[in-house]
Structure 1
Amino acid sequence: MATLHVLGNLTAHDRRILTAVNAGASSLSFVGSSFIVLCYVLFKELRKFSFKLVFFLALSDMLCSFFSIVGDPSKGFFCYAQGYITHFFCVASFLWTTTIAFTLHRTVVRHMTDVEDLEPMFHLYVWGTSLVVTVMRSIGNEHGHLGAWCWTETGRTGKVVHFITFYAPLWSAILFNGFTYFQVIRMLNNATRMAVGMSDRTYQSDARADMKALNRWGYYPLILIGSWAFGTINRIHDFIVPGHKIFWLSVLDVGMAALMGLFNSIAYGLNSSVRRAIHERLDLFLPERLRRWFPNSLKLRGQQQESELVSLKIQDQQ
């Protein structure tokens, strides 16, 4: 008879379920983010600064998901390696979303055209911050692993450090993104009202198009909230009541966090430029009888631009 291992009040069976949920959700995120990375590599027309930020976001999600798929490794070196590498790329992922929000704000609200010059600063900010918080995480760390993860700290000091090095930057990014998108959408709302008042049909049409494009950007901070809200609640509960895990909360924690890469790839990556590039390749390589089976939505309804950064005039200045 197999030995029944228990972590807190979770049995070995519970841990196997968490591992399966993590592996399944992480696999979906890995496929979604890998698709965006592949599109950037294959389609030269996508290699603008606007989509380059999305590429680095997808790359971080892809690597975060890949190391999460490792599952339930043995204690020791591989467990530590998985924990720290996953921590690094997950932090990098949500930090790249702040660079996208910053670029939108600087271009749309402040009307600045120097965002491409800031790319080295973006890399220093994202990779440097991710490295610093990952190294800091070793402070007071009594490392353990909860089935799906190797980044669970069992000591009280380690849990505090985990909050400081992961959840503090996470919720700071959520607040920053939310405030930034609110300002951008408010400015476009004001521009639309001014256009209506002036009866300027051309400007009114442009403003409304931009407003339509930005409407769904306002929901993007909800991706991070939805991905990590259950994880935050679970960590707070574990800190207050250590050793008493809530199984259903752990399932939601593991599953939603692992799906972050999939959510990001759909929201940030599958924009009109990507779909246009795919449709052009289908037109080029597929015979007519096969192309009829693809939905008309790939044709982009007259090539209308949507909510990507390119549609907000963040183009290469070369």
Structure 2
Amino acid sequence: MAPAVRIAGTILGRDRLLTAVIAGASSLSFVGSGFIVLCYVLFKELRKFSYKLVFYLALSDMLCSFFTMIGDPATGFYCYTQGYSTHFFCVASFLWTTTIAFTLHRTVVRHKTDVEDLEAMFHLYVWGTSLVLTVIRSIGNNHGHLGTWCWAQSSRTGKAVHFITFYMPLWGAILYNGFTYFQVIRMLNNATRMAVGISDRAYQSDARADMKAINRWGYYPLILIGSWAFGTINRIHDFIEPGHKIFWLSVLDVGMASLMGLFNSIAYGLNSSVRRAISERIDLFWPEKLRRWLPSNSRSRNQQQEGEMVPLKSLDQA
């Protein structure tokens, strides 16, 4: 009995650690994405189309994190509720990143200014696709649970359907975002070289400003890769060898996936427009004695910075 007790104790300890990792990482994502949502609600100057897409992304991340960290629902109705809700909002999250990439591409590469008219189509695409994939996921579904992670599928068919309805669209979004940002960056690189060639200093300055902002966006597909690479490997391994769990891979799987909302909130949400809005409130409401402790150049730097979505500034002003 002693070996069996030790094995049971080890499994229980690992489940508790996974539960703690999920709860902690999801809490950070919930706070980060919730902060972006709160900024959008409180600061009227942020309610432009470009940042509205970021707001929808943060809202999806916040709800995904919430349903991930609500506790151990074990089995039954609460497990199904948590599993489907998490699936729905996590799919919506990475789909919103594709709408942001599409908007940049349509504005910068195709020189279109009608993206704001496509908002209804964006909602239909994101929420409709998320709903369809969540419903399809019920095929062959037999939920298990991993700590607070009610995504585990105990049947082989369920695991395959889960992979098809989540990880395949996810990597499709990663490839689309990467290709789109590559085209945008190449377009701006060409514009910068042309400006240098014709010695158009004004246009050259604008192109370099755009390039500085867009260079950051080239790294954004890495957020999805970093968040879900370990999960993808873990799902494939579990499908091939269902009786052999790799604990460290499970920790990286649930930990990095749960941090997706935090990564998105930092990369997409905390741009110069948000920092400027916060800085203005600090200057307005903080006592002079407290403001002296702030860096002396912080205010001027915020006033000089352009938003990270520079190519959309003409759209926002429309």
Q: Which TM bucket (shorter chain)? A: over 0.9
Structure 1 length-normalised TM: 0.95
Alignment of 1:104-123 (within 5 A): 104-123=104-123
| AA of the residue aligned to 1:111 | H
How much identity, in percent, do the aligned residues show? 81
Structure 2 counterpart SS, 1:145: coil
Q: 1:51 to 1:16 in 2, by over 3 A?
A: same
Partner of 1:308: 308
| Structure 2 CA distance for partners of 1:190 and 1:10, relative to 1, 3 Å | farther
CA deviation profile, 1:123-161 (whole Å, cap 9, x unmatched): 000000000000110000111001131111110000110
Read off the aligned partner of 2:104 and give its amino acid letter: L
Q: Quick one: distance in 2 between partners of 1:83 and 1:195?
A: 52
The AA in structure 1 aligned to 2:80 is Y
Q: Partner amino acid for 1:53?
A: L
Partner letter of residue 197 of structure 2? G
Q: 3-state SS of the aligned residue for 1:146?
A: coil
Alignment partner, residue 58 of structure 1: 58
2:144 aligned counterpart, secondary structure: strand
Cα distance in structure 2, aligned partners of 1:162 and 1:10 = 28
1:272 equivalent in structure 2: 272
1:175 is matched with 175
SS at match of 1:53: helix
Aligned: 1:251 with 2:288: no
Partner amino acid for 2:83? Answer: G
- SS across alignment from 1:212: helix
Aligned with 1:266: secondary structure? helix
Q: CA deviation at 1:293?
A: 2.3
Contact 1:19–1:147, Cα closer than 8 Å, also in 2:
yes
Aligned to 2:90: 90
Partners of 1:208 and 1:57 in 2: how far apart?
A: 28
What RMSD, in angstroms, separates the aligned Cα atoms of the two structures? 2.0
User: Any unmatched runs of 5+ in structure 1?
Assistant: none
Counterpart Cα distance in 2 of 1:296 and 1:58: 31
Q: Tell me the amino acid that sits aligned with residue 159 of structure 1.
A: K
The residue type paired with residue 89 of structure 2 is F
Q: For 1:197-208, what aligned pairs fall within 5 Å after superposition?
A: 197-208=197-208
How far apart in 2 are the matches of 1:74 and 1:221?
Answer: 34
Alpha-carbon deviation of 1:300? 5.8
Hey, what does 1:154 align to over in structure 2? 154
- Could you tell me how far apart the structure 2 residues matched to 1:283 and 1:313 are? 25
Counterpart of 1:128 in structure 2 is 128
Aligned residue in 2 for 1:294: 294
Letter in 1 for 2:283: D
Deviation of 1:275 (Å): 0.5
CA displacement at 1:297 relative to structure 2 = 6.7
Residue 129 of structure 1 aligns with an amino acid whose one-letter code is T
Relative to structure 1, the CA distance from residue 153 to residue 302 in structure 2 (aligned partners, 3 Å threshold; closer, same or farther) is: closer
Does the aligned pair in 1 maintain the 2:28–2:262 contact within 8 Å? yes
Relative distance call for 1:264 and 1:244 in structure 2 (3 A) is same
- Cα–Cα, structure 1 residues 217 and 47, in superposed 2: closer, same or farther, change >3 Å? same
Change (3 A) 1:247 1:184: same
**Cα distance in structure 2, aligned partners of 1:93 and 1:4:** 42
